[in-house]
A and B are shown apart, each in its own frame.
Chain A
């Protein structure tokens, strides 16, 4: 549903594209049975060359044999995995290798009817969740799980429903997904191939069905995570542990598997009941050893160590601890030695330069955060999302204390990130929105938070309406009609239409906000002559401005507008906020900032302020004025200085605005003019175009604008409006902008609209708003030596 877009009945290019993409996907994912083609792709016959064996040590000391699949075969296997994924119906008891049901496959109605649990992705946590608070938990393990799923079994699967492959087809596919004879005598599934998990789940369907039936009979809960079978019950009168183990073993063996007897455990509630690495005695929890390891690391980092290196070396010295106890992430070796060339950790990409300390610290920070969030995920899973204090009565005291522990860990991590300058503040603040305690724990003064935690009433109402949108075009039209005009403006521009709006553009706006010129102007007004002007004016106090006061003002003014600012301005404001906040946190509430005298403490804040200043403030001096920074800059970039003359009048006013937006929009407009001007030569005295600037008139309310006049006003704007000329105003249904003009419109969205005036291919004396695509009948008089008004870029007034 998310990707649905509403379009007209005529097949558009986008429709054709999506049909083509679907066909391409089908072509790519369909199984290949032609051995000649497979041979060409170096995937036939499958031999030991396609698999490279390697072993890793298991925790019990024995070896686990894994394989690396040759890249050609792996690509083919990945396509097969996608193919099996299309009709991947596993039993309800399987929790391993089951992807989350994509939301788009579930309709809105179905979603509301489904329980939250059903939408939760299946995994180790949900597997464990089924066995919480049980008197008896039995854990069994299948011996050599993948190796016992052999070639004939896979053949059998492929020849049966729903695949119904012929003998030949099944044998080719089975050869692709099973190990060759020269690697494994029994031709089992390779551990490390992308197809093996799915095939194993499909093979286990019968086993799950039989064990599930047995479980129901004895009032037992049953789940399977890969080769881990777990049974649990509170009804010990109905069945004994031995009976369950006996029946399950019988069933397992009947299905061609073997039980790893050494690993079979019956755990009663007075013992530690562990399911897939998670404790299930009372709610979900991690083993104490893991939790303590995280807490100890956090404590040491916060109070003892002075650098990450020290922490890593410290853990290297622990020696006998298992690997999961140490916090030595990728790139570090035992003893705290740093590896080289580690980059882009998530992709495993190796850079060609030695890795910087900053990069290592980031790896370490995210590694540690990962551990904390894993604990958080375990302890909050059964609570429901988001965790609300109001529901506290439904949470057991133990579970509640674990959540508090998690919040404390995050708070400590936050303080550590401040200490070591890890760039993870945004992650913690995002989490703080969900975890009520966290805000106070990180000593967040809510008045310092720049991001709005809650949407206001109107924003919420809009979001609700958006969430109810279905697939019908009328619903989208209705939504559009009821949306605020500023949102309508953006949706028109983004979709280049008055009637068709894609779900994704609406979603983006609703989730992240959209550019609203009037809101940005409010902020600029404050930065110009309001309380925020102090950011640029030195204080009468010798010590400088009080940072806490600056920060409070910044948050007060900016927070309601932040969603509606241009990305450029937003980034600058956020940077100032971050630096000022850091200054208050590290130096305390009384810290002052002197704009003229930079100190070591204030240099970052002052740099951020200077960056903001250079992005928004234009002066009445000779260099940083509108003429130099915007108009001349754009004319030079357009590459046709000889056809534009600039009327400098009023171009040296003091203005607070989005300089980049003016620059980009004007440059692109001029480039578009240059492209459409046939003869670029002009006489020195009379250039073809004149650029004028009109500052805001506070008396008449006329907005600030750049006006471009054209001498030869008899030339038309080379587009047909295709409008009813008898009407004085209306919509232009055919989209006129493309290329440079289209990007000019987008660049100018945070400031205002772009207009074209005068003659068009099919009419004269009209003004068209190229942003909103509306027209108005309007005649402009010719001005001596300038010609007629041709294009204007105007601020939008509220």
Chain B
């Protein structure tokens, strides 16, 4: 089974609720775990098939760094004005994806599918 980690934004906990609620509602709660601790020690011990976080949250750089090092597919949902309404793949780093936060729900299944494919490819 996939093991995807959703990192909660400690600075703006209110911002998490909407996304957490959707994850629970859509039945992905068995493969997506919620996590609050973002520090070097925890992150270096972490095993994951994918990570999700808000691009403006505290600790984003740490999550991004470990995702690059460990080849974790990473979905960062963003509230910036120029973010896309579809799952955008970073051309320089194929494991990194981003999406406009308003379209998070729409692209989540596609992201999970990508994580699944990558996991299968690894195995």
Contact = CB atoms under 8 A, between A and B. Distances in A.
B40 A699 contact: yes
Given A529-B57, A620-B98, A699-B44, A595 B81 contact: yes
Contacts of B62: 698
Interface in B1-37: 11, 14-15, 18
A83 interface: no
A654 interface: yes
Nearest to A651: B92
A652 B91 contact: yes
B58 interface: yes
Contact of A596 (B11, B59, B81, B91): B81
B61 interface: yes
B123 interface: no
A724 interface: no
B65 A697 contact: yes
Interface stretch (A439-447, A478-486, A493-501, A532-540): A532-540
B54 to A, nearest CB: 9
A699 B65 contact: yes
B15 A540 contact: yes
Given A620-B96, A652-B93, A536 B57 contact: no
B92 A538 contact: no
Contacts of B58: 529-530
A695 B60 CA distance: 14
A619 B61 CA distance: 13
Interface string A535-561: 011111000000000000000000000
B61, B64, B65: most-surrounded residue (chain A CB, <10 A): B61
Interface string B79-100: 1111000001011110010100
Contacts of B93: 620, 650, 652
Given A530-B11, A627-B92, A652-B93, A536 B61 contact: no
A518 interface: no
* From B11, B68, B92, residue with most partner A Cβ within 10 Å: B92
- Which of A620, A627, A699 counts the most B-chain CB atoms under 10 A from its CB? A620
Contacts of A503: none
A205 to B, nearest CB: 73
Interface in B39-66: 40, 44, 55-62, 64-65
A625 B64 contact: no
Contacts of B44: 699
A533 B56 CA distance: 6
Contacts of A622: 91
Given A654-B55, A698-B61, A648 B79 contact: no
Contacts of A627: 92
A651 B96 CA distance: 13
Nearest to B59: A529
A534 B92 CA distance: 27
A538 B81 contact: yes
Contacts of B88: 621
Interface residues of B, number: 30
A621 B65 contact: no
Contacts of B40: 698-699
A649 B92 contact: yes
Contacts of A596: 81
A652 B90 contact: yes
B92 A625 contact: yes
A538 B55 contact: no
Nearest to B69: A699
Given A530-B11, A540-B14, A654 B92 contact: no
A603 to B, nearest CB: 14
A91 B22 CA distance: 88
Interface string A670-701: 00000000000000000000000001111100
Nearest to A617: B80
A696 B62 CA distance: 10
A539 B102 CA distance: 11
A649 B93 CA distance: 8
A695 B82 CA distance: 23
Nearest to B97: A620
Given A537-B78, A699-B44, A620 B65 contact: no
A795 to B, nearest CB: 13
Nearest to A624: B82
Contacts of A5: none
A698 B56 CA distance: 17
A653 interface: yes
Contacts of A697: 65
A531 B101 CA distance: 18
A277 B62 CA distance: 70
B95 to A, nearest CB: 11
A536 to B, nearest CB: 5
B80 A536 contact: yes
B15 A698 contact: no
Q: Which of B11, B44, B78, B81 has the most CB of A within 10 A?
A: B81
Contacts of A625: 92
Contact of A537 (B18, B79, B92, B96): B79
A449 B114 CA distance: 49
Contacts of B61: 528-529, 696, 698
B6 to A, nearest CB: 17
Contacts of B14: 540
B90 A529 contact: no
Scoring A531, A536, A625, A695 by chain B CB atoms within 10 A of each residue's CB, the highest score goes to A536
Nearest to A654: B55
A648 B92 contact: yes
B13 to A, nearest CB: 12
A681 to B, nearest CB: 29
Nearest to A534: B56
A707 B101 CA distance: 35
A106 B90 CA distance: 66
Interface string A414-434: 000000000000000000000
Contacts of A654: 55, 60, 64
A538 B88 CA distance: 19
A536 B65 CA distance: 22
A529 B92 contact: no
Contacts of A652: 90-93
Nearest to A699: B40
A176 to B, nearest CB: 70
B11 A653 contact: no
> Which residue of A627, A696, A699 has the most chain B CB atoms within 10 A of its CB atom?
A699
A255 B98 CA distance: 91
Contacts of A650: 68, 92-93
Nearest to A627: B92
Nearest to A655: B61
Contacts of B81: 536, 538, 595-596
Nearest to B41: A699
B60 A529 contact: yes
A771 B63 CA distance: 33
Contact of B64 (A537, A619, A651, A653): A653
A517 to B, nearest CB: 17
Nearest to A536: B80
Give the 4 A-B residue pairs with the shortest CB-CB distance, closest first. Answer: A537-B79, A652-B92, A533-B56, A538-B79
Given A534-B56, A652-B91, 11 more contacts: A528-B56, A528-B61, A529-B61, A530-B58, A536-B56, A620-B93, A622-B91, A625-B92, A649-B92, A654-B60, A699-B40
15 contacts: A528-B56, A529-B58, A529-B60, A529-B61, A536-B81, A538-B79, A538-B101, A539-B79, A540-B15, A540-B18, A620-B92, A652-B92, A695-B65, A698-B62, A698-B65
Interface of A: 528-531, 533-534, 536-540, 595-596, 619-622, 625, 627, 648-654, 695-699
